[in-house]
């Protein structure tokens, strides 16, 4: 994989892209080492195409911002300006080597020794596949990339931007009660944090969904701006490249767009727009797409889900559709021709299960976001018994489950004890810096992933965690009609015990009767 295969402008754009990445790395390093309050004045911007001259100007602007915020980086900024001045006359290789020298000097993220950097396994003949396997090697060996390896990865990103598609298999979500662990942590980021953090260590992807969504909304209310929004699709493609088949990659799509405010008038456009988006995600190897069920009545939600799933191209056995219900938004149940407004959180959650089943989606998400940001933790909005009932009722109907909004470290065990399949965790609560004045996000904090998973694993090993995992398996097998009468009795007994959070006697009874086979 060589820059010489590109025209000169393309190669110089790639080098400038490396410079932007280096500046971002220095900014992140400075923020993480600072003891002052984090401040960010601008939101994440929408990507816009740039000429070579515009990209060079962007580098200058970013350097000015960097020095304004972090005066100690003045020498670094000046060294970058020297490189920019060399750009018109220096050869491509000279410029690339100079940028790599700077990256090695300032960030120490380049291996000193050179290496080929590409695998030539005949079973994976295309460049993208080779780079994905290279990234997996770097992760497994816990080593820095060489210069040629960094170039290969950056060129793979450019290939994705030009429409190339990764052909390696993706990893689907596990069945309830049958995964490496029952409650997967859905580590959430718009994408860049996953590339520089989540995907760099194998142990950070164990029992993890690598979830991609746009989290930043400032201090805007949900009516104006969704709590979560669709990410840049190129970021999803890059994350998929870096994850390969190590973990399921999932993505948020958003709420349907009704331009006129009239459901049936806008249904065609909304369904075709969202089905095309979901299809593109699934064809990249995304294992789940999540759609918000906002601004519709119950009967409209059912019709929308049925239409949407019928127009999406996917492997319905391994690629899931998830419907997200906000527990703080009243839902009008008009299925019987009359309108009943449901406002109680648990009742909204239970109604969501019915609607998802009727609409034909695979998974139900209960979200606790409101107009405040960061969100009030969803596990503080439901009692243990209420959250457990939602998960239990969904599993026995053959649906996967998920909680989101406001998760911090103390809330992880509370979710594990319900047996929920996934927990949305990320953003300003736990994995991103945030400016409390503007609500805008800063650098990713990957070191917190280890703590998140350690807390999850400890909770999963506890009696309540083991009971919740077993109940999830029994409920799922019940949905498949694979339990005998004795196992059904155990399922009912276990649910009641877990609801009371008194499971020791049930677990001891199971340990004394190893002949009770489940699964």
259 and 143 share one domain: no
Contact predicate 326/367, CB 8 Å: yes
301 and 421 share one domain: yes
CA dist 491 and 38 (Å) reads: 49
**How does pLDDT run across 459-475, given as a tens digit for each residue?**
999 999 999 999 999 99
* Interval 152-177 mean pLDDT: 95
Contact predicate 197/449, CB 8 Å: yes
Q: Could you tell me the end-to-end alpha-carbon distance of the chain, in angstroms, rounded to an integer?
A: 48
**How does pLDDT run across 416-436, given as a tens digit for each residue?**
999 999 999 987 778 987 777
**How does pLDDT run across 275-298, given as a tens digit for each residue?**
999 999 999 999 999 999 999 999
230 and 361 share one domain: yes
Residue 156 CA, chain-centre distance (Å), reads 21
**How does pLDDT run across 4-36, given as a tens digit for each residue?**
466 888 889 889 989 999 999 999 999 999 888
Contact predicate 498/471, CB 8 Å: yes
The verdict on residue 235 lying in a domain is yes
29 and 57 share one domain: yes
Give residue 219's pLDDT band: very low, low, confident or very high (50, 70, 90).
low
What letter would DSSP give residue 374?
Answer: S
Rounded to whole angstroms, what are the CA distances from 279 to 8, 168, 217, 274, 275?
35, 17, 26, 8, 6
159 and 206 share one domain: no
Please give the full DSSP string across 392-460, using - where no structure is assigned. Answer: HHHHHTT-EEEEESS--TTHHHHHHTTT-SEEEEEGGGTTEEE-TTT--EEEE-THHHHHHHHHHHHHH
Residue 191, phi then psi, degrees to nearest 5? 140, -50
Confidence check: pLDDT of 516 > 80: no
79 and 210 share one domain: no
* Interval 331-351 mean pLDDT: 96
The mean pLDDT of the chain is 90
Confidence check: pLDDT of 154 > 80: yes
CATH number at residue 443: 3.20.20.70
Q: What's the predicted TM-score (pTM) here?
A: 0.92
Phi and psi based region of residue 486 (left: phi greater than 0; alpha: psi -120 to 50; beta: remaining)? alpha
Q: Report the half-sphere exposure of 377 (CA within 13 A, side-chain side).
A: 18
Looking at the structure of the chain, the number of domains it has is 4
* Interval 485-499 mean pLDDT: 97
Query: What is the span of the domain harbouring residue 139?
Result: 111-166
* Interval 377-396 mean pLDDT: 97
140 and 205 share one domain: no
Above pLDDT 90, what percent of the chain?
A: 75
Give residue 519's pLDDT band: very low, low, confident or very high (50, 70, 90).
low
Q: What is the pLDDT of residue 226?
A: 64
Angle in degrees, CA 242, 245, 249, rounded to 5: 70
What percentage of the chain's residues is helix, strand, coil (to nearest 5)? 50, 10, 40
Phi and psi based region of residue 218 (left: phi greater than 0; alpha: psi -120 to 50; beta: remaining)? left
pLDDT-wise least confident of 46-60, 314-328, 383-397: 46-60
123 and 83 share one domain: no
Confidence check: pLDDT of 118 > 70: no
């Amino acid at each position: 994989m060589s820059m010489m295969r590109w025209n000169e402008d393309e190669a110089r754009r790639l080098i400038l892209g490396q410079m932007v990445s280096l500046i971002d790395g220095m900014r992140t390093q400075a923020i993480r080492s600072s003891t002052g309050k984090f401040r960010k004045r601008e939101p994440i911007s929408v990507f816009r195409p740039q000429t070579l001259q515009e990209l060079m100007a962007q580098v200058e602007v970013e350097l000015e911002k960097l020095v304004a915020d972090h005066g100690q980086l003045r020498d670094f900024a000046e060294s970058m300006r020297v490189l920019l001045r060399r750009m018109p006359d220096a050869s491509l290789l000279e410029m690339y080597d100079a940028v790599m020298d700077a990256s090695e000097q300032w960030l120490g993220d380049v291996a000193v020794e050179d290496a080929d950097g590409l695998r030539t396994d005949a079973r994976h003949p295309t460049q993208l596949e080779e780079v994905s396997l290279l990234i997996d090697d770097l992760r497994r060996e816990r080593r820095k990339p060489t210069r040629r390896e960094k170039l290969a990865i950056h060129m793979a990103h450019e290939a994705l931007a030009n429409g190339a598609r990764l052909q390696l298999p993706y990893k689907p979500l596990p069945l309830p009660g049958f995964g490496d662990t029952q409650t997967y942590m859905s580590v959430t980021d718009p994408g860049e944090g996953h590339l520089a953090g989540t995907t760099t260590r194998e142990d950070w992807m164990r029992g993890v969904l690598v979830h991609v969504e746009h989290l930043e909304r400032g201090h805007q209310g949900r009516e104006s701006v969704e709590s979560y929004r669709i990410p840049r699709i190129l970021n999803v493609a890059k994350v998929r490249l870096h994850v390969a088949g190590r973990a399921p990659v999932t993505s948020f799509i958003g709420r349907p767009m009704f331009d006129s405010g009239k459901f049936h008038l806008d249904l065609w456009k909304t369904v075709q727009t969202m089905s095309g988006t979901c299809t593109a995600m699934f064809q990249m190897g995304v294992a789940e797409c999540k759609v918000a069920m906002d601004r519709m009545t119950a009967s409209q939600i059912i019709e929308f889900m049925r239409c949407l799933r019928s127009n999406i191209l996917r492997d319905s056995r391994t690629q899931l559709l998830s419907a997200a219900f906000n527990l703080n938004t009243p839902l009008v149940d008009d299925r019987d021709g009359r309108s009943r407004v449901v406002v109680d959180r648990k009742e909204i959650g239970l109604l969501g299960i019915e609607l998802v089943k009727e609409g034909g989606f695979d998974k139900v998400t209960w979200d606790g976001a409101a107009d405040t940001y960061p969100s009030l933790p969803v596990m503080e909005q439901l009692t243990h018994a209420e959250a457990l009932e939602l998960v239990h009722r969904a599993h026995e109907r053959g649906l996967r489950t998920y909680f989101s909004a406001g998760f911090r470290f103390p809330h992880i065990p509370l979710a594990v004890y319900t047996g929920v399949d996934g927990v949305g965790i990320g953003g300003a609560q736990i994995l991103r810096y945030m400016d409390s004045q503007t609500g805008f996000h800063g650098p990713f904090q990957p070191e917190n992933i280890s703590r998140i998973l350690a807390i999850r694993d400890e909770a999963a090993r506890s009696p309540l965690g083991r009971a919740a995992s077993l109940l999830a398996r029994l409920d799922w097998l019940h949905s498949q009609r694979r339990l005998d009468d004795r196992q059904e009795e155990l399922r009912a007994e276990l649910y009641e015990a877990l609801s009371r959070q008194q499971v020791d006697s049930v677990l001891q009874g199971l340990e004394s009767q190893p002949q009770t086979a489940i699964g």
